[in-house]
């Protein structure tokens, strides 16, 4: 099983994912960033953000840089974008869209 490490030392397993070269590059670009939660600063992993429109679905180009702790909180404690927003004042769907937009502009 192959593991990938970003420049911050964060390990992410992309071996099981069926990603295009472009999606792999985007995943690594997202993981180069620190956690998106203000004042956290921890290493990030790639959180697949569900796309709300046109249908709720997972897409490899919708990703958020979030640390393992906040990722666990998102899924285990909050369970929704609204609850996570109420706790941290960060709307993950917008953040994911901006990540892809910024990456596309840089590529």
Query: pTM to 2 decimals?
Result: 0.74
Asked if residues 14 and 30 have their Cβ atoms less than 8 Å apart, the reply is no
pLDDT computed for residue 104 by the predictor: 84
Main-chain phi, psi angles of 103, to 5 degrees: -65, -45
pLDDT, one tens digit per residue, over 48-57 is: 887 655 545 5
CB 41 within 8 A of CB 76: no
Spatial separation of the C-alpha atoms in residues 63 and 83, rounded to whole Å: 18
Query: Helix, strand or coil for residue 87?
Result: helix
**Distances from the Cα of 75 to the Cα of 49, 72, 83, 88, angstroms:** 12, 5, 10, 14
Are 34 and 42 a contacting pair, CB within 8 Å? yes
What tokens does 38 get?
A: 């203000």
* Tens digit of each residue's pLDDT (9 = 90 or more) over 64-98: 999 999 999 999 999 989 999 999 999 998 998 89
**Are the CB atoms for 61 and 44 separated by under 8 Å?**
no
């Amino acid at each position: 099983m192959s593991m990938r490490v970003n420049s911050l030392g964060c390990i992410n397993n992309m071996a099981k994912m069926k990603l295009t070269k472009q999606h792999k590059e985007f995943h690594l670009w997202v993981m180069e960033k620190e956690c998106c939660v203000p004042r956290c600063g921890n290493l990030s992993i790639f959180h697949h953000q569900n796309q709300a429109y046109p249908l709720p679905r997972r897409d490899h180009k919708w990703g958020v840089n979030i640390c393992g702790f906040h990722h666990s909180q998102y899924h285990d404690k909050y369970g929704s974008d609204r609850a996570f927003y109420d706790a941290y004042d960060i709307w993950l769907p917008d953040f994911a869209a901006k990540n892809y937009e910024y990456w596309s502009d840089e590529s």
